[in-house]
Structures are given as structure tokens and as C-alpha cells.
Amino acid sequence: MLITYGSSSEALARSVAKESNIPIVETARRFFPDGEQYVQISGALSGEDVVLIHSFALSPDTLLVEYLLLVDAIKSGGCRSLTAVIPYFAYLRQDSRFKPGEPLSAKVFASLVEFPRVDRIITIDAHLHRFRTLSELFHTPSLNLSAMPLLADYYLKNFGNNNTVVVGPDAESEQWAKVVAERLSSPYIIMEKVRLGDREVSVRGNASVKDKNVVLVDDIISTGMTLVKVIRMLLAEGANRVDALVTHALLVEDSYQKLKGAGLGNLISTDTVPGQHSKVSVAPLISRAIKNLP
């Protein structure tokens, strides 16, 4: 087996290679003067089971083209199988035609990812809501791993579970909040969110969190406004402290400053989107999954 990577996940791929003791094959990407991309794989892939690790965070459209070029380059090298590990999978929140004239972006993007025919697709905490499972999105065999147990273990080790309550900001977060609550032996509360615009949400719910240490749980922070609204509400209800566990910290624009301004304590995320809050690596998760491939 060999591991290779796209430009968005080089460090993570190196961690997975180290963790699983599997050799890494280097890749290079550059842009032509007109904005088109060029990729190159340097290594013999013939007869190998290749794992390509490549997240689609923050510039998904460009990263998708890089992925398509990489898959073509890898397959032309005569590998035996190709597993695409996409730690952060983009476009899944547009999982319905919310207004007339809209595309079903989740399905379109998923179709493009499986278009060059890989043998399997692995992702982490995919935003599955109206599509309940990956098999509703892909024909390709697929696997959705979860970083929530790792995030919960990090929290437990560093902050304990004294007087903790887990809060999920919206209906879809229940799947993740439940896992963390179980790991922390704590109760959980799910709020109700209505999205009013790209940077605007309203949140309501019965937040009985007086004097509690709240652990907010979500899959993605993008503009941060979902968590900003919830943090303000929880602190107004008398929460002692509010920390957040989030798998994919996209943290666009000045979202982190907004979260701190609202009173957020610690933000703990993973390296599916590498950044200063990536305290937890998903490398062991990916490593275990690829070692157990059929």
C-alpha cells in the first residue's frame, strides 16, 4: 500500500503514513500563468493499493480539479486499487433545492468526485442531513468516519467532565452531540436553528445550563454565526464556560474573533482543515480505516 496526497492534506498524509508505517509518494502542484493547474506524482504505483488523501476545504472548486487530475495521474500509473480519503467533503450542506431554480449541489459535487471511478471513498463527519447516508450520494463503496470520539477524549483528558453538558446547535448536530455526550457521561441538549442567510441564523431552545460547563458540538464552523448565537444564549442563561468541539474548522473571515467576542472558551478542532485549533489529528482514524480495507 502507498499513501499520496493533494495540496490541501500534505501534513495529514504524512501523519497517516507515519502512524500506519506505509510509504508516502510525493506529489507536486503548480498553476500555469492562465490559472490552470498542473500536478505530478513522483513514484512507481504499478500494482499498488494507493490511498489519496485530499480535503476540499475553503477552495473546493480548485481542489476538485486538482483531485480529478491526481486521480487520473495515479490511475495511469497502473495501481491495483485507489481509495480516495476526503477528510472534509464540500458542498454537502446544499442537500436540497431550498428555492426554485437551485441545483442539488451535494449530489452534483458527489457525482464529480466519483466520476473518475475510484474504488472507494472515505470521508469524516460528512454533513449528512437530508441525505442520511453516503450510499444515497455515491454509487462507489463509501465510508463515513467520525472524529467525535477523538474530540471527546481530548476534552475529557484536558478539561474533565465535571458539571458538563453537551449542546448541539441544530437538529443535524444531534448525531455528533450524542456521541460526545456518551463519551463524557453527560446529558445533551439540541437547539433549533433557522438559517436566515449566509451569515445570519436564529437559534432557540430550552437551554438549562446555569453554572454548567458547556461543550458545544458541531461538524463545521464556517462564518461562526451559528455558534456565536448559541454561545451568547448559553452565557445569558448562566453557563459557567462554553468550549467547542468541531471537526472541520473552516473559520472564514474573522469568525474566530467573533466567537471569542461572544465568549467562547476553548475551540478544539481536527486537522481535516489544518489550522491553529487543530488540536486533534484524524491520522489514527484514517490509518485504522485504510489498514482494515477489504
Smallest gap from Cβ 229 to ligand R5P, in A, equals: 8
Q: Are strands 26-31 and 37-42 parallel, antiparallel or unpaired?
A: antiparallel
CB contact set of 103 (below 8 Å; sequence gap of 6+): 94, 97
Residue 17 engages ligand R5P in binding (rule: CB under 6 A)? no
| Cβ neighbour number for residue 135 with a 10 Å cutoff | 12
Cell of 98: 431550498
Cell of 174: 444531534
| 219 vs 271 by CB, closer to ligand R5P | 219
| Cβ neighbour number for residue 275 with a 10 Å cutoff | 14
Q: Which of 12, 179, 203, 225 binds ligand R5P (CB under 6 A)?
A: 225
Restricting to residues 141-200, name those near ligand R5P by CB under 6 A: 169-170, 172-173
| Cβ neighbour number for residue 292 with a 10 Å cutoff | 8
Lay out the site mask for ligand R5P across 81-120 (x = CB under 6 A, - = otherwise): ------------x---------------------------
193 is catalytic: yes
Cell of 197: 442567510
Q: Of the listed 193, 212, 229, 258, which one is catalytic? A: 193
**Cβ 272 vs Cβ 247: under 8 Å:** yes
| 41 vs 201 by CB, closer to ligand R5P | 201
Q: Which of 55, 164, 186, 223 binds ligand R5P (CB under 6 A)?
A: 223
| 193 vs 241 by CB, closer to ligand R5P | 193
CA–CA separation, 25 and 45 (whole Å): 9
**Residues in the chain, how many?**
294
| Cβ neighbour number for residue 99 with a 10 Å cutoff | 6
Smallest gap from Cβ 207 to ligand R5P, in A, equals: 16
Kindly determine how many residues on this chain lie close enough to bind ligand R5P according to the rule CB under 6 A.
16
Contact footprint for ligand R5P (CB under 6 A)? 93, 127, 169-170, 172-173, 201, 218-226
Residues forming the active site: 193
